Amino acid sequence: MKLRNLMMAATGSALAATTAFAQDAAETMDTMDKGDVSFMIFSTVMVLFMILPGLALFYGGLVRSKNMLSVLTQTTMITALVMVIWVIYGYSFAFGGSSSAWWGGTDKLFLAGITADTMIGTFTEGVVIPEFVFIAFQMTFAAITPALIIGAFAERIKFSAVMIFTLLWVTFAYFPIAHMVWDGAGYIYNLGALDFAGGTVVHINAGVAALVGAIVLGKRKGFGKDMMAPHSMTLTLVGAAILWVGWFGFNAGSNLEANGGAGLAMINTFTATAGAILGWTIVEGTLRGKVSLLGAASGMIAGLVAVTPAAGSIGPVGAIVLGAGASIVCFFFVTVIKNKFGYDDSLDVFGIHGVGGIIGAVGTGIFTAPSLGGVGYSEGVTMMGQTMIQAQAVGITIVWTAVVSFVLFKAIDMTIGLRVSEEDEARGLDLATHGEAAYHS
């Protein structure tokens, strides 16, 4: 079975054509199916659910109670900020329709020219969905990516620094990479890289930025000595569960229509995750003697991350292997390798999203093979060939984001400063930064 071609190039440059010839197009070719539209609206809302309260609680439960509110607030504020930016210029920079390999241009600033009846293509010729729905769907992706990063510098970063970093980072890292990977004119897309729902665009991107941030900001005061255990594993599991449920919108929704492709993405999102949970917990249980809830939840997320780029092209049994493999590597990374390097990625953003994303993205090249249950490669592409392309995509993403993130973190540090004072860090960000407490005993 051949891999379907993305319609992005067609939709981008032909969007003007679509609106101009809307009458003709509607009569002859393009069909807007209400099932597809309701599916996409639902998927979009599911991704919002992943951020609020999913990610908010997942991360929130992992920090100390004196910093719980700061995590909830940062997640909420980043979401709001990025959504506004997206509508103003983010969508245009990512999917504006320019022929540049690096950015989408300015044609769709303020969503110019788009109305409720404007349609955009899907992966199936002749099937369209309202462009506003696509814009909203992609908007939630743009919002969740910077929200993932906050785990790296939790419990010690300045709130204003988070906001400014988010604004600049989505502009110079997220929008360009989204364009390069997902837009028909994009550089990485044209290499033939496969990234169904954002292994590179979202997870590797956020993971690497997080690693850079953790290193630039330095460790939390008392790291390695003070008690920094999660204050609520209960809320963390609630958050992780919401992430898994919402991820069906993230992955299946990336199919842009409700057909077999969405069904494939859905089942992969089940099996990879289940395999990953078992992978992590079996290894942990064997090596440590105890299976932990944090381990199960971490394995869950690692599997979800790994299947993200692969959801549309691998098979459900291959997904189990990909999920378990990624999660086991993540396990060793966060328990052994991270400690060797000695940096403080508080909530293991790089360890799970970065490492999991890298394995998932490269693994997509392998497990898309028909022999392994996948949908198969484009004409003339071999497993080795696709895997090399995947590695290239991963490499470009890592370098681009690492450089942009480093420059931004340093610039912000040199101007307004990244960290709160030692006193504020000891008091807790909730009281120090927000003048609020998450809990009163």
Please give the residue ranges that form the binding site for other proteins (CB under 8 A): 227-230, 288, 290, 292, 294-295, 298, 334-336, 338-339, 348, 351
Distance CA 388, CA 366 (A): 10
- Tracing tokens 């480093």 back to the chain, one arrives at 406
Q: Which H/E stretch holds residue 120?
A: strand 119-121
Calculate helix-pair angle for 131-149, 205-217, nearest 10 degrees: 30
Please give the structure tokens belonging to residue 140: 């939630």
Cα atoms in the 13 Å half-sphere on the side-chain side of 74: 34
Contact 331, 305 (CB under 8 A): no
Distance CA 188, CA 192 (A): 7
Q: Which amino acid is at 268?
A: N
Nearer of residues 215 and 228 to other proteins, judged by Cβ: 228
Largest CA distance in the chain: 69
The burial of 68, by beta-carbon neighbours within 10 Å (0-12 exposed, 13-18 middle, 19 or more buried), is given as: buried
Q: Tokens 């970093």 sit at which residue?
A: 165
385: its two tokens? 């060939």
What DSSP string runs through 287-345?
A: HHSS--HHHHHHHHHHHHHHHTTTTTTS-HHHHHHHHHHHHHHHHHIIIIIHHHHT---
Other CB atoms within a 10 A radius of the CB of residue 383 amount to 17
Contact 33, 257 (CB under 8 A): yes
How far is CA 354 from its chain centroid? 10
45 vs 48: CA distance, rounded Å: 5
Q: Which amino acid is at 179?
A: H
Q: How far is CA 323 from the centre of its chain?
A: 16
Residue in 429, 222, 217 with CA at minimum distance from that of residue 343:
217
Spatial distance between the Cα atoms of 214 and 345, rounded to a whole number of angstroms: 5
Residue 126 has which token pair?
């002749």
